[in-house]
Amino acid sequence: MDHVTDKLPKGLSGLTHDLGSDQTAFKKVPWGKAMMWIFLLSDTFIFSCFLISLMTARASTTVEWPNASEVFGLNFFGVEVPLLLIAIMTFVLITSSGTMAIAVKFGYEKKRKLCAWFLLLTAIGGLTFVGMQAFEWTKLIFHEGIRPWSNPFGAAQFGSFFFMVTGFHGTHVSIGVIFLFIMARKTWRGDFDTARRGYFTSMKSNYEAIEIMGLYWHFVDLVWVFIFAFFYLW
What lies within 8 Å, CB to CB, of 141 at 6+ separation is: 147
* Overall size of the chain counted in residues: 234
- Side chain identity, residue 174: S
Residue 17 to residue 38: CA distance in whole angstroms: 18
- Tell me the domain boundaries of the chain: 30-233
Is residue 2's pLDDT more than 50?
no
Contact 154, 63 (CB under 8 A): yes
**Cα–Cα distance for residue pair 121/217, rounded to 1 Å:** 13
The conformational region for residue 131 under phi > 0 = left, psi -120 to 50 = alpha, else beta, is alpha
140 vs 25, more confident: 140
pTM for the full predicted model: 0.86
Q: What three-state secondary structure class fits 152?
A: coil
Q: Alpha-carbon torsion 170, 171, 176, 177, what sign? A: positive
CATH architecture assignment, domain 30-233: Up-down Bundle (1.20)
C-alpha 35/C-alpha 59 separation (Å) is 36
Assess whether pLDDT exceeds 90 at residue 86: yes
Strand, coil or helix: what is 114?
A: helix
List the one residue out of 95, 85, 114 whose CA is nearest residue 218.
Answer: 95
State pLDDT tens for residues 94-150: 999 999 999 999 999 999 999 999 999 999 999 999 999 999 999 999 999 999 999
184-234 pLDDT, tens digit each:
999 999 888 887 776 655 567 788 999 999 999 999 999 999 999 998 988
